[in-house]
Structure 1
Amino acid sequence: MKLDSIHSRILNLLQKNARISNTEIAKQVGISSPAVAERIKKMEDLGVISKYMAQVNYSALGYGLRALITVRAFMGRLKPFLHQVKSYKEVINCYRITGNENIVMEVVFENQQHLEIFIDELITYGETKTQIILSNVVAHHPIDKI
């Protein structure tokens, strides 16, 4: 689907606040509320919008430390890891990647001790590299910049 400027503006508003009303979107983009609803439904049907979700503030839940951890799996340990990683409550996102490492995960921890315990578990599957996340520079790109 090729997005026009109105579709792009609707998507940007939904990315900032998935609970925004069609009426408010209509005011901001200059079309009627039913037209907004129709455009959103079309984007959902075509898979452009795949889901709506809440953005969680993990710090408010007691997870003050975030990190990116890469794993280079030992021979024969990737499949067991892929099964096990789904059970780790600390993992926010996990991706299989190309390159020297097999996996990159975004994870949250209560503190450094929690991180250390988690890494001790991971090293049974492969070599790890950990980078502590200091801040989020880009939350998402407005769709018209892609």
Structure 2
Amino acid sequence: MENYFLDNTDRQILTYLTEDARLSLKVLSGKIGLSSPSTAERIRRLEERGIIEGYGARVNLPAVGYGMQALVRVKPLPGMLHKVEKMIQAMPECIECDKVTGEDCFVMRLAFHSIGQLDDLLDGLADYAQSNTSIVKSSPVKRRLPPL
């Protein structure tokens, strides 16, 4: 992605759409003080430049049966990095994963129904990687944009 200077209007658009991606063009235009066609054009340019990658719903995981989450640090055994990465990518309960520096190679976030299910998920990795698991008690800061 090329470097792109964000002016105050672009920052406002990103902030409002991050808070509520379902805002109508009319409402968003009113909030930022532009016409609907001008707002639509700015959104189109943000999308074309890859700054806006998509739109989605935030789902309450406990409301759909995933009452538990864990952060798992994963350190593949020698020669197993790519295999472990593919295993993590194929794990539907892995809702987020980062490849990191340091002693571990991956930090993943798992959503699951029970400790038994967590054991099953981690048992699948045990022959290929070491893991260290922390159960999430709460999330005082949800994913958000940094200052723009």
Q: Which runs of 5+ in 1 are unaligned?
A: none
Q: Tell me which of 108, 129, 132 is aligned to 1:129.
A: 132
Deviates more, 1:20-29 or 1:134-143: 134-143
**Amino acid in the other structure paired with 2:109:** E
CA distance in 1, matches of 2:143, 2:36: 25
Q: Tell me which of 112, 116, 128 is aligned to 1:113.
A: 116
1:55 matched to 2:58? The reply is: yes
CA distance in 2, matches of 1:92, 1:119: 15
- Report the CA distance between 1:23 and its aligned residue: 0.6
Q: Which runs of 5+ in 2 are unaligned?
A: none
1:79 matched to 2:71? The reply is: no
> Identity percentage over the alignment?
33
Aligned to 2:107: 104
CA distance in 1, matches of 2:72, 2:145: 27
Off by >3 Å, runs of 4+ in structure 1 = 140-143
Deviates more, 1:103-112 or 1:130-139: 130-139
Aligned to 2:28: 25
Q: Please report the TM-score for the alignment, with normalisation by the length of structure 2.
A: 0.90
Q: What RMSD in Å do the two structures reach over aligned CA positions? A: 1.4
- Report the CA distance between 1:14 and its aligned residue: 0.7
Give SS of 2:75's match.
Answer: strand
Q: Tell me which of 63, 88, 92 is aligned to 1:89.
A: 92
**Amino acid in the other structure paired with 1:119:** L
Q: How many residues align?
A: 145
